[in-house]
Amino acid sequence: MRESQEYDKYAHEPFAVTVDLAVFTIRDGALHVLLVERGQEPYAGQWALPGGFVLPDESAESAAQRELAEETGLADVSGLHLEQVRTYSDPGRDPRMRVVSVAFAALVPDLPEARAGGDAAGAAWLPYGPAAYRPLAFDHDRILGDAYDRIRAKLEYTGLATAFCPPEFTLGELRQVYEAVWGAELDPANFRRKVVGTAGLVEAIPGAARLTGGRGKPAALFRAGTATALHPPLLRPTPEGPSS
């Protein structure tokens, strides 16, 4: 009970509070995640999620923003999607001391600069999935998995997918986001109708059309809408067995 406890700041062994970031992007039609290579023990040489301490005068959200800017090299991250996933607090999750970590998921468009800025031994965008960079340091495999589950689910019932896109994008690019995250193909015709017909998801830009980079008819440009919740949701093709 908070009521029955003393507020002696030094009564217990102190907790350190950190943030860990799962930063996702779509590159070459596949979901990628930003990882850093650890330069020192424990877990030296292994990949880990970027992160760092929450400073005494900032919130976890501020710390996450700060780290995101550092790692991506972007001056302004205020427009990026950054959301809390959950907090990891198992004793012993860091062998050095008691560390409670608040995990965040960030969604960024494919960045012009190929690599992450920063200070760690190395940083790289690596394709998400059961890959060569596992296992990650600490409990970061679990954190990364939880973050992925969150964004995969949120694509269905929010307009989150636009957070992966630049300010102006084509519906083909938006569809690639869904296909990359869900690992499933979507019918372009039906996808267009659904997205355009869902109020607040995207809005057309009156201006001209753009070429997708290669052949094909130039596609119209859209920008993200204002809707956060989608009713009805944009369901992904049956992920498991029959439901009825």
User: Of the listed pieces 27-35, 196-204, 208-216, 218-226, which binds its own copies according to CB under 8 A?
Assistant: 196-204
Taking CB under 8 A as the criterion, the residue among 157, 183, 219, 220 binding its own copies is 157
How large is the angle between the packed helices 188-197 and 171-182, nearest 10 degrees?
Answer: 110
CA distance 50 to 71: 7
Taking CB under 8 A as the criterion, the residue among 121, 184, 204, 211 binding its own copies is 121
Separation of CA 134 from chain center: 18
Determine contact, residues 63/19, Cβ cutoff 8 Å: yes
Q: Which is nearer to its own copies, 95 or 167 (CB)?
A: 95
| CA dihedral for 187, 190, 192, 194, sign (positive or negative) | negative
User: Of the listed pieces 119-127, 167-175, 184-192, 209-217, which binds its own copies according to CB under 8 A?
Assistant: 119-127
The total of other beta-carbon atoms located within 10 Å of residue 59's CB is 12
DSSP conformation class of 138: T
Is 243 near its own copies (CB under 8 A)? yes
| CA dihedral for 205, 206, 210, 216, sign (positive or negative) | positive
Taking CB under 8 A as the criterion, the residue among 69, 120, 124, 220 binding its own copies is 120
Is 189 near its own copies (CB under 8 A)? no
Contacting positions for DNA (CB under 7 A): 170-172, 187-190, 192-194, 209, 211-212, 214-220, 232, 235, 237, 244
CA distance 25 to 182: 14
Shortest CA distance to 113 belongs to which of 71, 64, 169, 170? Answer: 71
Q: Which is nearer to its own copies, 158 or 176 (CB)?
A: 158
Residue 208 binds what, of DNA, its own copies, none (CB under 5 to 8 Å, by partner type)?
Answer: none
CA distance 126 to 133: 8
Residue 214 binds what, of DNA, its own copies, none (CB under 5 to 8 Å, by partner type)?
Answer: DNA
**Contact positions toward its own copies, by CB under 8 A?**
1-5, 7, 9-10, 12-18, 38-40, 51-61, 67, 70, 84, 86-87, 89-91, 96-98, 100, 102, 118-121, 153, 156-157, 197-199, 230-233, 235, 238-244
